[in-house]
Structure formats: C-alpha cells, structure tokens
Structure 1
C-alpha cells in the first residue's frame, strides 16, 4: 500500500518535498521501481521522476527516499505557480510484481498569498530537545485570531501533538512547547526528550480568522539513536576581564570500538577560523592561555582560558572526532558564544571615596608655613645647643684662699 498526503502547499520559488511511503511488510523484495507523474490542466500525465534511474524531466526533481525504509519521496526545486496540479507516486516491487499508487494535490501559492513554510527534512538526536520550525505569510491584514495545530503521521495514523489558540496550549503524546510568536507569523514548537520512535512525518496547520485562510506545511523528522556521536556545549558563556573562563564541552560516551579520540577547539574571528587547542599537542596554539581540563574517560572535552580580555570574546566551537577499529570515523561539532564586557564588574557595591586634592594656591601656602616653622625650630635648637656647649667649656673659678688677718689691721 502506497501512502501520500492528500494535499501539499508550497510557495513559489521554494523547494518542496513530495512525500510518499509504502508498506514494508513484504519479504523477499529484490528490486523496487518508483515513478512520479503529474497531470496539469487536464492534459495527459507526464513522468517527472524515475527511481533507480534517477532521470529528470520537466521538473528539477531530486530523490530523497530510501527503499530500505520504504520511502519513495522526492523534492522539487524552484517550484512555480504553474506547477500546481495532481501528482501520483507509483511503487512496484519485484519479483512479487506488487503495485500501488498514491495521489497528491500540489498547490503552489505566490509569495503574496497565505502560505505555511516548513523545512522538507530534519535530523535529530534521541534524548534531546528539538525545534520543529514553521512560519507563514505575514502579508494578510485584519487578522484577529490565529489557530496553530501540529500533527504527526506514524504507521499511517495521524495524531495531534500540539495546539495553540488564543495563548492557550495543550500537550498530547509528545512533550511539546510553543516557541513561536503569532505576531511574527512564527508557529514553531520545541519537542523535549525526543526518541527514535518519534521519527515520522509532521505537519503544521495554520488558520487565520476572520479571513478563514488555511495552509499546511509538511516536515520529515528522522531521530537518530544515541549511539551516534553527539557533541554538547552551552549556547553562551558570560565572563569578566581578567578572570578564568570554563568552556564546557562533552560528547556521547556509549560508542564502542574507539581507537583514538581527537578534540580541537576553534575561534571564529572576522569570518576566519583560528585553532586554539588540539589534544594531540596538549597546549595552547596561540597567545590565549588555554588549559585542558577535559577527561577522555568521561567524554569531557572542556578547556579553560585564563586572564580573559575583551578581544577574546567571540564564537568558539568544539570539534570531536572519534576514530574506530574497522569502522567509519565519527565527527560532531558544538558551538559556544563567549561574551566579555568591556570593563570588569566592581567587586564592592559601595565604591571607596577618592580624596579631593587641595587647590594649588592653598597647597603652596600650607607648605610655606610648614617650611618657616621648620627653619625657626632649627635656629632655636641650634642656639640652645651652642649655649650648652659654651657653658660646658667655661672653667670653674677656685675659691680664694683665706689670708691671715693683720693683727694690726
């Protein structure tokens, strides 16, 4: 059984995904043939794509499917308004020669019309919080109410996972949170702790009132297991001049068969990358005072930068490459924005008052008086010292001897 959506909307000039999947329970399949056709203005159908030949016809179509996962989707680039029409996806499997068809109505709107836009395909890592982006045309005036609904299609069934209406939100099987803003025509959501079984096809439906206009955007989400390498860093780091900043970076620890792990840190300045650290060197590669504080055994690739200055601010990235025995090399990157204000923050909230210097004339008078007093003190001291010295050198007068008295006198 072949499954396609009933309707897909696109904006002229964009690249649109035409999704098509089929039943995967047939065993012994050795060959799969996929053909896409379109019918325009009631004319005969024309083939626009064929797999596995990969031929291209009037539309610039690209294969996005995977027959091992029973996916027969294609993308069409630079879609035009006259590409609107009815499309069909035909799948045939051999040697069973089983065959089925799915039909799809494509509506291509001009950019000035109401249209919902989502990316064709996105990849996520299990266990992370992931953004499902969705935006829509903002040129419609007089909108008083906007309704946003997110649905996912799993095993051929649709289930609503989120609804936003008049500021109220509801949560269904997935833990979804609105991060959009209807005033900016943004209907995006975040999905927390996403898992591999959440892989599937999602759609974002937006309706505006009282115009009663509606459009849908489709997105194919692929959630990879945590056995793949994933590097995690903080989005931003704030520090002060003269301090030591920790740049945290960690990566997946459940990878087997590791032969060697390489960690490199870069900084982007004026559009150019500058390597600031490499684990094989174990030292800083530029004037930055970089120190390795990571640990391979705990999958920690963090570094510190000492004596931070304002010119050290910028966008840093942590690259981790894992080389394995007889297995493909794995690599991932984490980005971090380092912010350094121009001046260090004051350590004490109460600043110490600075004494105000005396005016120059007053200061001169004070110094003059002090100098005069010192001169007077020196003169008086010198006079007293001389007097004491002269008294010490003056000989004592011996007492006069007693003369005998003249008896006559």
Structure 2
C-alpha cells in the first residue's frame, strides 16, 4: 500500500524542524564550588569552568562575574571578559580582581587579591559561548574569616598523626621495658654465678 506524496511531505518538513531543535536544548554548563572560605587579607582563586556543545574560542566566549552582597538583591559587576580581560575600574573590586582563566581550556576563573570582610556574599560566574548562550550560572557563597578553619581532611590528618604518635610512644616504652628486663636478668645470672663461686667449698 502506497501513500500519496502530498501526505508524506508534511511529515518530512515537520521532522526537519523538530530534529535540529532537539540538538540544542542542552545549553552551556558551568561548574563552580558551592562555598569558598578565605582568611582576611589573603589571595583566593574563584574557580569557574564550563562545557559547551559549540567550539570554543576567545572571540566567541563572554565571561561575566558579578557579586551579590549579603542581605542585598542588587548585583555588582566584578569582572568582564570578551576577547581580552576587563578588570574593574571602580567600586569595591578595583585592584582586587584579576583574570586567572584560560578560555581554550574552558576555564573562566578569577583571583581576588587581599580580600576584605566586605567581600562576604555570593559571587556569580556567567559564561556564554555564542551561539550557545542558554544555561544556568555558577554561584559561590564566599566567606572572609579572621582565621582559617580546620577542614575535615585536616582534622582527619591530625587524628591519624596523633594515633601514629601514640603508637610510636607505646612501642618505644615496650622496647625500653624489654631491654631493661633483659639487662636485669643478665645481671642476676652474673650475680648468682659469683655467689656460687664464693660459697663453693672446693675453691681454695
């Protein structure tokens, strides 16, 4: 059974429109840590990487970093990249934000120098790779502290190191006690031998 061509052509045209549209629904993906903590006055790198379904080049990628202070809904511009880096010329981030990314490696990171407490808030990394401009942004909750807090890895390392130290101390005590006992036993044997020699009536 054959279908007339005028019934088949609409289906072919519909497929031509639907299939290309299905290829581009993925959008651009951005990856950042959810939280970053830094000591007051130190330098810290804000890591932001991305993936795109289109070829990447310095001419096609646009990077925008913004900042949202605590208890404020207004975003501030931190850094901008389009073919070349554009560091901030005014505001709280002037002289503090520098480019540390590599577009060809899909890295859009920046580094903050000498961070003050006024940097507490949320940093937002936005990357667009034309024509791939759809996708969510990366957000980093940033905290400036006076002292570095111990991470879980540091606590684990200290615990393991402490346990190894205790084991070494106990091993040293065990070896010392064993050596002392052996030496004392040898002295007792030598003393008994001398006493026997003194008491032997056959010895003149």
TM category, shorter: 0.5 to 0.7
Give every structure 1 segment of 4 or more consecutive aligned residues whose post-TM-superposition deviation is greater than 6 Å.
223-227
The separation in 1 between residues aligned to 2:29 and 2:130, in whole angstroms, is 14
Q: Which residue of 125, 131, 138 corresponds with 1:318?
A: 125
Aligned pairs, number: 128
Q: Which residue of 2 aligns with 1:340?
A: 144
Partners of 2:147 and 2:139 lie apart in 1 by 25
Partner residue, 2:112: 305
Tell me: higher relative CO, structure 1 or 2? Use CA pairs within 8 A at least 6 residues apart. 2
The aligned residue for residue 273 of structure 1 is 75
CA shift for structure 1 position 321 = 1.4
Q: Distance in 2 between matches of 1:224 and 1:336?
A: 30
Quick one: distance in 2 between partners of 1:228 and 1:275?
Answer: 24
CA positional deviation for 1:224: 8.2
Contact 1:253 1:298 in 2 (8 A): no
What does residue 37 of structure 2 align with?
A: 238
TM-aligned CA distance change 1:312 to 1:252, over 3 Å: same
What are the equivalent positions in structure 2 for 1:8-407 lying under 5 Å apart? 28=8, 30=10, 228-256=27-55, 259-269=59-69, 270-280=72-82, 282-285=85-88, 286-288=91-93, 289-324=96-131, 329-330=133-134, 332-341=136-145, 343-345=146-148
String of CA shifts for 1:188-216, please: whole Å, max 9, x gaps.
xxxxxxxxxxxxxxxxxxxxxxxxxxxxx
Contact in 1 for aligned 2:28/2:133 (Cα 8 Å) = no
TM-score normalised to structure 1 length? 0.28
Q: What do the CA deviations read for 1:309-348 (whole angstroms, capped 9, x no partner)?
A: 1121101100111124xxx64454111111122x2349xx
1:152 corresponds in structure 2 to none
In the other structure, the counterpart of 1:108 is none
The two structures have a TM-score, normalised by structure 2, of 0.53
Q: Which has the higher helix share?
A: 2
Where structure 1 has 5 or more consecutive residues not aligned to the other structure, the ranges are 1-26, 32-67, 70-222, 347-409
Residues 227 and 255 in structure 1, CA contact (< 8 A), matched pair in contact too = no
User: Which is worse superposed, 314-323 or 276-285?
Assistant: 276-285
Contact 1:283 1:290 in 2 (8 A): no
Structure whose residues are more often strand by fraction: 1
Partner of 1:384: none
- Match of 2:40, SS state, is coil
User: C-alpha displacement at 1:253, in angstroms?
Assistant: 4.9
Residues 320, 332 of structure 1: 8 Å contact kept: no
SS of the counterpart of 1:300? coil
Alpha-carbon displacement from aligned partner over 1:81-131 (angstroms, at most 9, x marks no partner): xxxxxxxxxxxxxxxxxxxxxxxxxxxxxxxxxxxxxxxxxxxxxxxxxxx
In structure 2, relative to structure 1, the CA distance for the partners of 1:277 and 1:344 (3 Å cut) is: same
The answer as to whether partners of 2:125 and 2:138 remain within 8 angstroms in 1 is: yes
Local SS of the residue matching 1:282: strand
Quote the RMSD (CA, aligned, Å): 3.3
Q: 1:345 to 1:322 in 2, by over 3 A?
A: closer
Question: Which of the two has higher C-alpha Rg?
Answer: 1
8 Å Cα contact 1:235-1:336 kept in structure 2? yes
Corresponding position of 1:39? none
